[in-house]
């Protein structure tokens, strides 16, 4: 199973102590470093370099004005921010039905951001761009006949919609990979999101699309981020009605309950009869992850292995896209446990 990565994704040089952010910032370059080390130790590396597909496949998912903002925001905001200070939203966020895009960069950040968790640094656009290229390059390998390929994406992507960013995410890598698979094959694609948090951006991108089936198992949005998406009643819209499914789960869910719910979700995937599968693989579903604001799930590393085995057993050409997972002392182990399941099926 090939892995794909671009070292340029590390240009998003966040740290645990981010200026202007009151809490510990967990989406750091160290996440990739521990995964790469674990892949190498397990004989699953080194990864191949991502190839440049240009902006075309990204534009197939994201709005042009949003991309222009992400590309220009750091340099443009130097007129109001000193040196290498991160650009954060100014505290105001546009609500549904907004019509006016303000001129100021900090106000535009609030226009496009759903929260205050995404700093824009000097290297953020380059990192997000190459994170998407990793997903595209992994999809290329599946299109070329590989049974599965892993995209080690950083920053992650599933909270980014066509025109908004948030939750550590700037570009939606899984959605970009799915559209790339479709561009080459005109086939139906299923996206299964196992991240602890609901992939609201992925849901919104495909909400009215009958050719992409999106299903997500995640923490109940009444208890956890992103709060405003992820309910069981969100089934898609118009021609996409029935092509979006959510399984919100309460805190403390253990292996047995999670796997039983996953079996239900995967039965619905099989019924859709997709030609390809994209997995948003967030390892923050494993117990103890610091991203949980409640007590999180009680899924064990062994349970994660079984989750990977269930997904691999679908037998579909699969692109695994890295999303969350913030336990640096075990993140590499979790990635290896999950990815090995695709090497044995």
DSSP string, 149-204: EEE--SS--TT--SS-BBTTBSS-HHHHHHHHHHHHH---EEEEE-SSS--HHHHH
Please name every residue paired with 165 in a beta bridge, in sequence order, or none if there are none.
113
62 is annotated as an active-site residue: no
Instruction: Say how far apart CA 303 and CA 309 lie, in whole Å.
Output: 10
What is the pLDDT averaged over residues 285-301? 97
Mean pLDDT value of segment 208-220: 98
**Interatomic CA distance for residues 137 and 146, integer angstroms:** 12
Question: What's the angle, vertex CA 118, arms to CA 116 and CA 120, rounded to 5?
Answer: 120
| Domain residue ranges in the chain | 3-52+125-344
Domain 3-52+125-344 adopts which CATH fold? 3.40.800
Helix-strand-coil percent breakdown of the chain, rounded to 5? 40, 15, 50
Which residues make beta-bridge pairs with 212?
Answer: 189
Single out the catalytic residue among 12, 62, 159, 180: 159
pLDDT band, residue 345 (cuts 50/70/90): low
Tell me, what's the pLDDT at 254?
Answer: 98
Q: Would the pLDDT of 26 be above 70?
A: yes
pLDDT confidence bin for 96, thresholds 50/70/90: confident
* Tokens at 25, concatenated: 């910032």
Look over the chain and give the mean of its residue pLDDT values, rounded to a whole number: 96
Q: Which has the closest alpha carbon to 286: 332, 345, 230?
A: 332
Q: How confident is the model at residue 280 (pLDDT cuts 50, 70, 90)?
A: very high
For residue 95, name the pLDDT band (cuts at 50, 70, 90).
confident
């Amino acid at each position: 199973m090939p892995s794909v990565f671009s070292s340029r994704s590390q240009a998003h040089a966040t740290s645990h102590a981010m200026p202007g952010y009151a809490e510990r910032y967990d989406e750091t370059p160290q996440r990739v470093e521990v995964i790469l080390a674990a892949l190498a130790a397990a004989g699953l590396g080194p990864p191949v370099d991502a190839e440049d597909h240009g902006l075309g496949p990204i534009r197939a998912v994201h709005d042009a004005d949003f991309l222009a903002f992400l590309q220009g925001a750091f340099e443009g905001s130097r007129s109001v921010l000193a040196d290498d200070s991160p650009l954060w939203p100014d505290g105001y966020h546009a609500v549904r039905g907004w019509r006016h895009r303000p001129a100021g960069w900090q106000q535009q950040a609030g226009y496009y951001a759903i929260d205050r968790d995404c700093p824009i640094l000097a290297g953020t656009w380059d990192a997000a761009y190459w994170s998407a290229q990793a997903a595209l390059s992994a999809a290329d390998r599946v299109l070329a006949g590989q049974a599965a390929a892993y995209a080690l994406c950083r920053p992650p992507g599933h909270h980014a919609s066509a025109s908004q960013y948030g939750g550590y995410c700037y570009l939606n890598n899984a959605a970009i990979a799915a559209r790339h698979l479709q561009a080459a094959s005109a086939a139906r694609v299923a996206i299964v999101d196992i991240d602890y948090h609901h992939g609201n951006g992925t849901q919104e991108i495909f909400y009215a699309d009958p050719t992409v089936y999106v299903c997500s198992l995640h923490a109940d949005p009444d208890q956890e981020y992103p709060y405003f998406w992820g309910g069981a009643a969100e089934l898609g819209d118009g021609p996409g009605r029935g092509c979006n499914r959510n399984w919100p789960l309460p805190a403390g869910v253990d292996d047995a309950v999670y796997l039983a719910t996953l079996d239900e979700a995967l039965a619905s995937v099989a019924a859709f009869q997709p030609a390809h599968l994209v997995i948003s693989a967030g390892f923050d579903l494993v117990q103890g992850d610091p991203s949980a604001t409640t007590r999180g799930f009680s899924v064990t590393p062994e349970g994660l292995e079984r989750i990977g085995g269930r997904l691999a057993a679908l037998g579909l050409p699969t692109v695994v896209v890295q999303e969350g997972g913030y336990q640096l002392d075990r993140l590499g182990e979790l990635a290896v446990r999950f990815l090995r399941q695709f090497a044995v099926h």
